[in-house]
Every structure is written in C-alpha cells, then in structure tokens.
Amino acid sequence: MKNYISILTEKERQSLYKAPVYVSLLGALDDGKITSKEMKEATTLVHYRTFTSNPILHEYYKKAEDYFIHNIEKEKIMLPINVKQAKEDYHIKLEEVNTILSKVDTKFSNELKKSLYSLANHVANADNNWIQALSILVDPFIDSPNLEVSDDLFEKEN
C-alpha cells in the first residue's frame, strides 16, 4: 500500500498522527465539558477506523491509534481550564494539521479531513445532546463558532 505521508518530516507525521486526539477533544468540548462517555466513544471509533475507514486511511489509523492511546490523557491534563481557550488551542493545532495535509496527496488529504470531521461529530454526539452537538457541524478545519460555555471543563463525577 502506498505511504501517503512519507514525504513529510517526522515532526509533521507526528502532528498528523495526533489529529484524532485533537478532533476528539474538540468534539468533546462542544458542550463545555469532557465526559468519560465521550472519551470512550473516541477511543472506540479511532480503533474501528483502523479497518472501517476508507482503505486509503487504514495504515494511517493504525499508527494514529497508537498515538491516540498514548496522548489522549496527556492532552486532557494539559488543557486550559477555560473552555473557550481550550477550543481555540485545538483550532490552532488543526490549522497546523491542515497545512500539513496540503503537502500530501489530495485524495488522502480529503478522505482524512472527512474522516476527522466525522470523528469530531460522533464524539460531540456521544452524550446524545443533539442540540449542543449541532455547533460542531462547522468544519473544524475552518472557522469555529464563538459559543459561550461555562469554564467548568471536566464533568463532575459522583
């Protein structure tokens, strides 16, 4: 199978492999908090994409799954307490991913963008709050909506 990202530097490949982490957290932040249900959904979906995504993405997701497992908790810990700032941080990271994707095969790039967008939507919908999840329908690779949300980032577990 063709390696679509071999032309990238190691740093660019690492950033690209972390993209599912970024979109998962951005999707989870859509309602202002990150829940365990959203993180479980994200982890499951990233694994499923190793064999259910477009075949052009299978190798990418196999590697990205390793990055996901090793980076999701680190990223959660490093999130700013302020939800708006956290969202802005992830939009900046996704702008960098978009820049990296401009360097690779167009078909691969387009398929990965669609897949990441879908991943963010699924994570945002994991808590079944469809009204709040509507705001994630703005493509994370372009401007994000300016939503007012609470500063309480993480769910309160009993």
Q: Which of 106, 109, 42, 108 is nearest to 73 (CA)?
A: 42
Query: Token match 């990205």: residue?
Result: 64
Given this model, what pLDDT does residue 128 score? Answer: 65
Given this model, what pLDDT does residue 15 score? Answer: 95
Q: Are 49 and 115 in contact (CB under 8 A)?
A: yes
Cα 105 from Cα 78, distance rounded (Å):
32
Given this model, what pLDDT does residue 50 score? Answer: 94
Q: Any residues with CB less than 8 A from the CB of 23 and at least 6 apart, and which? A: 90, 94, 116, 117, 119, 120, 123, 140
pTM of the full predicted structure?
0.79
In the chain, what are the domain boundaries? 10-137
Given this model, what pLDDT does residue 27 score? Answer: 92
Per-residue pLDDT of the chain (158 residues; tens, 9 = 90+): 478 999 999 999 999 999 999 999 999 998 888 888 999 999 999 999 999 999 999 999 999 999 999 999 999 888 888 889 999 999 999 999 999 999 999 999 999 999 999 999 989 888 765 544 454 444 444 444 433 333 444 444 44
Instruction: Quote the DSSP letter at residue 54.
Output: -
